[in-house]
């Protein structure tokens, strides 16, 4: 039996348990783009002559973020969109996703900058993973990638740096910080403020569930790499992902509730926790909150 879209007479391709709606392809795409437009307008107001950098890995989230931002803003002559990809040096994984990223930027006609860990930090993720180290591979990768993205965004004069964080990512991070009691990190998740030396982060997909991001990529035939990084597997985050997915199945809307509760709470939390003092790393000059940035610490620079 064919299930019809709640908004028209066409066949539905998705059932949103949290909203109770069956949606066809057209109305699903409209629903995703409506939520993204609302998020951008409310949290990241686009101004005239903005240069918007988009962190593009070639995976579903970053590819959808670039595609939708281009769809929303690509026709504005005063707005420039630039994709930035980071090659971490992960054999058998990153090369194929970078090729898909190149394909997408060529299709959209978007300028594409690619930098590598090797060029910027003198090492690769494979080399770091093989070393004796205190932290997990994801900690190294995240810190080093962020430093490169911010550096390039500053070089091109970007006013915003878009990342592909979706609803699942945000809900997991909120719960993770609660479990760790890390309120300072919790405050940093709040809608962005301008900090000298750091390009303002924007997360247009923060209200879109991960499964809907994947479906959006598929129905729009985007060139996307769905494979998982061989170094993925942060134990606690993986457990939280399973926990949240279980709650979402039993109690649809759990992830949205976590995000909405956080958005209401974070303003009051920020008043109790003064912002960290901003400094310049005495080794590389990057903006940080101590005399040495996390990237330099992880790489053993003294």
Q: How far apart are CA 224 and CA 215, in angstroms?
A: 11
Q: How far apart are CA 40 and CA 202, in angstroms?
A: 8
Judge whether 284 is annotated as a binding position.
Answer: yes
Residue from 191, 189, 188 nearest 160 by CA? 191
Residue from 218, 219, 220, 203 nearest 168 by CA? 203
Residue 230, CB-side half-sphere exposure with 13 Å CA sphere: 10
Beta bridge partners of 112: 83
Residue 185, CB-side half-sphere exposure with 13 Å CA sphere: 11
Q: How far apart are CA 237 and CA 210, in angstroms?
A: 15
Judge whether 293 is annotated as a binding position.
Answer: yes
Record the tokens describing residue 24, joined without a space: 């066809």
| DSSP, res 292 | S
Judge whether 273 is annotated as a binding position.
Answer: no
Helix axes 254-272, 167-180, angle to 10 degrees: 50
- CA-derived radius of gyration, the chain: 20
DSSP-derived 3-state class of residue 251: coil
Judge whether 138 is annotated as a binding position.
Answer: no
Residue from 124, 100, 125, 94 nearest 112 by CA? 100
Judge whether 281 is annotated as a binding position.
Answer: yes
Judge whether 288 is annotated as a binding position.
Answer: no
Q: How far apart are CA 118 and CA 83, in angstroms?
A: 19
Chain-centroid distance, C-alpha 175 = 17
Tracing tokens 């109770």 back to the chain, one arrives at: 20
Judge whether 10 is annotated as a binding position.
Answer: no
Q: How far apart are CA 257 and CA 253, in angstroms?
A: 6
Judge whether 55 is annotated as a binding position.
Answer: yes
Judge whether 214 is annotated as a binding position.
Answer: no
The annotated binding site for Zn(2+) is made up of 5, 8, 24, 27, 281, 284, 293, 296
The annotated binding site for ATP is made up of 55-57, 61, 86, 164, 169
The annotated binding site is made up of 5, 8, 24, 27, 55-57, 61, 86, 164, 169, 281, 284, 293, 296
């Amino acid at each position: 039996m064919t299930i019809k879209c709640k908004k028209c007479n066409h066949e539905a391709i998705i059932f949103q348990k949290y909203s109770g709606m069956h949606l066809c392809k057209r109305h699903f795409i409209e629903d995703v783009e409506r939520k993204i437009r609302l998020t951008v307008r409310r949290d990241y107001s686009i101004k005239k002559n903005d240069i918007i950098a988009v962190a593009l890995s070639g995976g579903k989230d970053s590819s959808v973020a670039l595609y939708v931002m281009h769809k929303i803003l690509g026709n504005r002559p005063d707005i420039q969109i630039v994709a930035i990809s980071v090659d971490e040096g992960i054999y058998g994984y990153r090369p194929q996703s970078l090729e898909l990223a190149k394909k997408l930027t060529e299709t959209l006609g978007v300028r594409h900058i690619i930098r590598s860990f090797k060029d910027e930090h003198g090492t690769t993720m494979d080399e770091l993973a093989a070393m004796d180290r205190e932290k997990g591979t994801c900690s190294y990768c995240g810190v080093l990638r962020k430093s490169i993205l911010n550096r390039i965004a500053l070089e091109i004069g970007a006013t915003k740096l878009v990342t592909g964080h979706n609803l699942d990512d945000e809900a997991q991070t909120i719960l993770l910080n609660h479990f760790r009691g890390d309120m300072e990190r919790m405050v940093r998740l709040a809608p962005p403020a301008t900090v000298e030396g750091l390009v303002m982060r924007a997360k247009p997909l923060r209200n879109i569930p991960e499964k809907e991001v994947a479906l959006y990529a598929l129905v729009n035939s985007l060139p996307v790499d769905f494979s998982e990084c061989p170094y993925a597997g942060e134990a606690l985050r993986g457990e939280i992902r399973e926990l949240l997915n279980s709650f979402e199945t039993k109690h649809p809307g759990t992830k949205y509730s976590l995000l909405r509760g956080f958005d209401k709470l974070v303003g009051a939390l920020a008043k109790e926790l003064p912002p960290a003092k901003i400094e310049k790393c005495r080794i590389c000059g990057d903006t940080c909150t101590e005399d040495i940035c996390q990237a330099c610490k992880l790489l053993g620079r003294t």
